Amino acid sequence: MGLLKGAGVDVGRLRTDPAYAGQVAVQLYGQNLVACASVAWGMALSTGQIDAAGLLNLALSLQHQGRIEEAVLYLQVALENFPSAALHNFLVYAQLFRGEDFYVAEARAWAARWANLPPPAPNAVQPAAGRKLRIGYVAPRFAGSQLRQFIAPILEGHDPDAVEVTLYPAEAATEADWPAWIRVRPIGGLDDAAAADLIRADGIDVLNDCWGHTAGCRLGVFARKPAPVQVAWINFFHTTGLPQIDYVLHGEVPGAPDLSDQFAETLWRAGPVFSPFRASADRLAPVETPAKAAGVVTLASFNHPAKLSDGCLAAWATVLRNARNSRLLLKYRYYADPLLQETTRARFLAHGVAVEQLLFGGHSTGEEYVRTFQVVDLMLDSWPSPGSTTTLEALSNGVPVLAMAEDSVGGVYARGLLEAAGLPELVTDTPEAFVARALELIGDIDGLDRLRTRVRPGFDEGPLCDEAGFVRRLEASFRAMLAQASQVPAARAVAG
């Protein structure tokens, strides 16, 4: 409560005035003080007067701290009392941080409850031979979101002589900077049925969901099957749970386990990576391993706090406990919350980690953000939910990333990123092997520095930066998918 008092909050009023508590929570949440906000929202709901927004906000504030079991409980209460597809999307996403089995079961439950619609009239599949392929992409926004570094190489690399591209964002105003030949059709003001009718009328051949079960998704549109081929990828590499979606796009990872039972869709391999990634224009010149000059090893994670599972934290703590000359920088906008910092310190302290070994960083952008990579010796990836953008940003800035890639969808994805960058030696498959490899790396700073010199070239010269090659494979894949849907051989079909 002292932190709330220090922020000018009337703590006594919090206990007696639910409306005031809710207002305070909204203000704190907007400042990324999610742990403090969860206290206020808890008080707002303590009177027993529950509402959907309050339960959702409390659940999200808990999720953003990594308190996943509590978040799931409140989301389940919200869904039971205020059923909606959108609320259920939040529950599906939260289950991902508990583990993939929980996520898959919830995604399938979402589909059974909200996507179990009468089958539409079959789409007339027009063979693509001799005409442009019509491709659609659906997301709330493309340019101003985490999609941009993935989708920009694709949209700018599509061949306008071979394909027609239509974006279906919530609003057109957010998408003004794409090539002029790309059509933008906003669907934010349309319900799912009307949006599906619009897409069907546009004659889209291959419709891509680029958002998954995250906030603002339009999976209800895909449930109405407005295109003969429907694909999910980019923002999500897990199943949507929808049988109406034909494929999930993945990269080829040699020796990966068969995980087809985790998908309602068919897995389609699009080459060595599932998407290219465009490095930030703010990248700085590579530097040598900072520990050589600093005399202390800086480990780091820039992943969302929800990804710091108990098992992952225990392994990281073992590394810190056995390498007292190391410290761990946890950087994410929610770590600006002093209460979240305290609870995170307590979690590590329970494993014998000295509090002075923990550092926290909040939100930053541009050059300030990329400069942070220059003080990091080794990035630690999380599990069971690995990093994606954060891993790719680290690699593109020349920082090695150590992963624990178990036999799971997330594990295979994490492994695929590192192998695509030419760094298979940074992939481990058990927590024990992760700890041993981390200690080996930070115990040989010269060796770690030699490894570091390979990271950025491996990223820049590998398939993650082969934008043109990926787009050619993607367009060929889309034609092959359409050919399968129409049972007409594709001239440029690729193995799916």
Domain 2-114 has CATH 2.120.10.60: no
3 state DSSP class of 125: coil
Phi then psi for residue 324, to 5 deg, are -65, -15
Q: Give the residue range(s) of CATH 3.40.50.2000 domains in the chain.
A: 291-464
Which CATH code of 2.60.40.1180, 3.40.50.620, 3.30.420.40, 3.40.50.11380 fits the domain covering 133-276+467-486?
3.40.50.11380
Q: What is the pLDDT of residues 202-247, one digit of tens each?
A: 999 999 999 999 999 999 999 999 999 999 999 889 999 999 999 9
What residue has token string 């079960």? 213
Q: CA-CA distance, 267 to 212, in Å (whole number)?
A: 15
Work out the end-to-end distance of the chain between its first and last CA atoms, rounded to an integer number of angstroms.
Answer: 56
What distance in Å separates the CA atoms of residue 74 and residue 176, rounded to the nearest whole number? Answer: 39
The whole-number pLDDT of residue 245 equals 98
d(CA 268, CA 493): 12
The Cα–Cα gap between 253 and 412 comes to 7
pTM: 0.94
C-beta neighbour count of 487 within 10 angstroms:
8
pLDDT for the residue 446: 98
The 10s digit of each residue's pLDDT in 370-392 is: 999 999 999 999 999 999 999 99
Residue range(s) occupied by CATH 3.40.50.11380 in the chain: 133-276+467-486
DSSP E strand boundaries for 326-484: 326-331, 358-361, 378-380, 401-404, 427-428
Average pLDDT, the chain: 94
Grade residue 9 by pLDDT with cuts at 50, 70 and 90: confident
Q: Is domain 291-464 classified as CATH 3.40.50.300?
A: no
- Read off the pLDDT of each residue in 110-130 and give the average, rounded to a whole number: 86
